[in-house]
Structure 1
Amino acid sequence: MKLFAPLLLAASALLAPAAHAQGYPNKPIRLVVPFPAGGATDIFARAVSQKLGDRLGQSVVVDNKPGAGGTIGSDLAAKSAPDGYTLLLATSSTHSIGPSFGKTPYDPVADFTPIAYVGNAPSIMLVPNSAPARTVKEWVDYARKNPGRLNYASSGNGTVVHLGTEYFKAQANVFMVHIPYRGTALAIPDLVSGKVDVLFDSLPSGLPHVKEGRLRALGITSAKRSALLPDLPAIAESVPGYETVTWFGMYGPKGLPADIVARVNTAVNQALQDPDVKDRLARLGIEPAGGTPQQFAAMTTADRAKWKKIITERKLTMD
């Protein structure tokens, strides 16, 4: 019997991945969103979670864990068991920009398993209705005439909102004071009241406030105008070369079995092709992505390199 023990162990190892696939999932899956409810990442998660759950045969429960520019929820997901029952909806903030400053308690590559590139969205430049400017050019001129008197909100230090605004400051040659929040949704009341002068909020979460007349949009951060808002100029029309978008992607903790990665990746791709999901994302101004885990990993590697270059060349800081 001892002679066959090594063979039995080897056979068990070969069968282990198949066992993962056959048994997964057999209970609800937690999808950690490292930003508050009502923000772009939360909106995106809720837009796809039901269809994703339908394809996996289990409910996918969105769990908001905001704070520290998305690092609290991301670190929680990184330290979770690699069994596929805790997944993370990450963004440019959590896995490109924050790590480029060296300020995250996790390694965006070594501590995670990439699953799928879910989509991306531009941001819009929002100001209070009481703001004296009605165009990006007017706002830049006003800011230059009032150096140090204006402030801007962000979703936290090291987030894409923070860095995107710092990039705008550098490109437009203006100065503003940074006021970080735990998420852009929490900054909206202060922006509406005029306590904050400007916010570059993601299109999905910022657009409803514009449509409801609570805030004024001056421009969009994509290189060209959006089909969703054809009358809203691209900021690049007034500030040449300026462009930022937020990407969204799904990760598991490091060591997530390959068969579980493949199962979730397939379900995500199928959910993104669902007509209802595609229609909802289009109305939110979100462009669905999809693809393989390898393609997702390559995209994030390039994105980190881009932001690292901007941070270094512009001498941008976390303050």
Structure 2
Amino acid sequence: MFQRSSLMIAIAALAMFVPVCAGAQEYPIKPITLIIPWPAGGSTDLTMRAIAESASKVLGQPIAIDNKAGGSGTVGPATMAASAKPDGYTIAQLPMGVFRLPLMQEVPWDPSKDFTYIIHLSGYTFGVTTSAEGPFKTWQDVVDYAKANPGKVTYATPGVGTSPHVGMEQIAMLAGIKLTAVPFKGGAETNAAVLGQHTMLQADATGWRPLVDAGKLRLLMVWTASRSPNFPDAPTLKELGYPVVYDSPFGIAGPKGMDPKIVAKLHDAFKKALDDPAVVATLSKYDMVPNYKNSEDYKKFVVEVTESERKVIDALGLGKKN
């Protein structure tokens, strides 16, 4: 009787143990949710959808997109960090604002503790556009007008603390002018703002490309290291005399505490997606250059970029007051 009881206990214990061990091996067994912290239709949304579709084929499960905009791209990742289980079924695109905003104000997350970094993917081509019907033909026109009318030049950005916002403020500082930022939730809204001349300028990623191609918006500059092959007539910041480059690289992360085996499966699937010709074509369409880093290198990058951003934020006087 004792031996039979011991055997039954052992079998029961094994039955409980096997599913736990098998979880990482069987993952994924259901659809995965990818949070994109920007509205649908922008350049980030469109490229991340292409990447997710390719990765889903490798994983054997669909990846559902959840557009959770707000907070300069931080609401989605912050919500995931606070409430999602670390089981690999909820992950998010992480924009630079996740690392930058804690330097500017009190937030309920800590980039060094609250995320599991999976893979670093790419970066943006940012540019400054204006209505084709507006008065500005070049960036120098903007500078001249702003010097004569301090604070009257308005520009749309996807939010306070985003790279377009911080980048424009640094450019304004270097140019000796004062601009007025008008925050929105993402590229669709910033496009509408400058197209309707509700703001005089727009600083954002290449979600504006169709409007530039159609001749409705005028591209005054790009923030890349060299001229974009898609916009060869648009000068870079360096060509305009500003020794800076902004590409706001981004990646994918999950909540803290994820199983390393699950992280590895997600990493490998998204790494393969970067080599997919369809993804390469989509990235090229929106001037996004692959910028791959594995999970460990991504974690190291977070430490480095946070310190780098701290210096810029402090120089601009945007740091939070202790």
Residue 86 of structure 2: which of 58, 64, 82 is its match? 82
1:231-288, Cα deviation, whole Å (9 max, x unpaired): 2110221132132112120000001110000000000100101122112211221111
Comparing 276-285 with 10-19, greater Cα deviation is found at 10-19
**Structure 1 counterpart of 2:251, which letter?**
G
Q: Secondary structure at the match of 1:100?
A: helix
Name the counterpart of 1:296.
298
**Structure 2 counterpart of 1:43, which letter?**
L
1:162–1:11 Cα change, 3 Å: farther
1:98 is displaced (CA, Å) by 1.4
Q: Distance in 2 between matches of 1:136 and 1:105?
A: 38
Residue 92 of structure 1: which of 93, 96, 113 is its match? 96
Superposed, 1:184-199 pairs within 5 Å as 184-199=187-202
Q: Distance in 1 between matches of 2:294 and 2:21?
A: 20
1:58–1:131 Cα change, 3 Å: same
Any runs of at least 4 consecutive aligned residues in structure 1 with deviations exceeding 3 A, and if so which?
1-4, 7-18
Q: Distance in 2 between matches of 1:77 and 1:261?
A: 16
1:22 is displaced (CA, Å) by 2.1
1:108 is displaced (CA, Å) by 1.3
Name the counterpart of 1:30.
33
Q: Distance in 1 between matches of 2:13 and 2:177?
A: 64
Identity of matched residues, %: 31
Residue 136 of structure 1: which of 134, 139, 145 is its match? 139
Q: Distance in 2 between matches of 1:80 and 1:8?
A: 32
Residues 268 and 290 in structure 1, CA contact (< 8 A), matched pair in contact too: no
Residues 136 and 235 in structure 1, CA contact (< 8 A), matched pair in contact too: no
1:101–1:13 Cα change, 3 Å: farther
Residues 223 and 243 in structure 1, CA contact (< 8 A), matched pair in contact too: yes
1:140–1:16 Cα change, 3 Å: farther
Q: Secondary structure at the match of 2:265?
A: helix
Q: Distance in 1 between matches of 2:69 and 2:304?
A: 26
1:268–1:10 Cα change, 3 Å: farther
Name the counterpart of 2:237.
235
**Structure 2 counterpart of 1:55, which letter?**
V
1:27–1:168 Cα change, 3 Å: same
**Structure 2 counterpart of 1:33, which letter?**
I
1:12 is displaced (CA, Å) by 9.6
1:183 is displaced (CA, Å) by 1.6
| Stretches of structure 2 lacking an aligned partner (at least 5 in a row) | none
| Stretches of structure 1 lacking an aligned partner (at least 5 in a row) | none
1:197 is displaced (CA, Å) by 1.1
Q: Distance in 2 between matches of 1:16 and 1:158?
A: 44
Q: Secondary structure at the match of 1:288?
A: coil
Q: Distance in 2 between matches of 1:9 and 1:106?
A: 40
Name the counterpart of 2:111.
108
1:228–1:139 Cα change, 3 Å: same
Superposed, 1:185-264 pairs within 5 Å as 185-203=188-206, 205-264=207-266
Q: Distance in 2 between matches of 1:3 and 1:299?
A: 51
Question: Higher Cα Rg: structure 1 or 2?
Answer: 2
1:133 is displaced (CA, Å) by 2.1
TM-score relative to the length of structure 1:
0.91
Q: Distance in 2 between matches of 1:200 and 1:250?
A: 24
Comparing 10-19 with 50-59, greater Cα deviation is found at 10-19
1:92–1:173 Cα change, 3 Å: same
Q: Distance in 2 between matches of 1:186 and 1:85?
A: 30
**Structure 2 counterpart of 1:206, which letter?**
W
TM-score relative to the length of structure 2:
0.90
Q: Distance in 1 between matches of 2:6 and 2:228?
A: 68
What count of residue pairs does the alignment treat as equivalent? 315
Residues 69 and 75 in structure 2, CA contact (< 8 A), matched pair in contact too: yes
Residues 28 and 59 in structure 1, CA contact (< 8 A), matched pair in contact too: yes
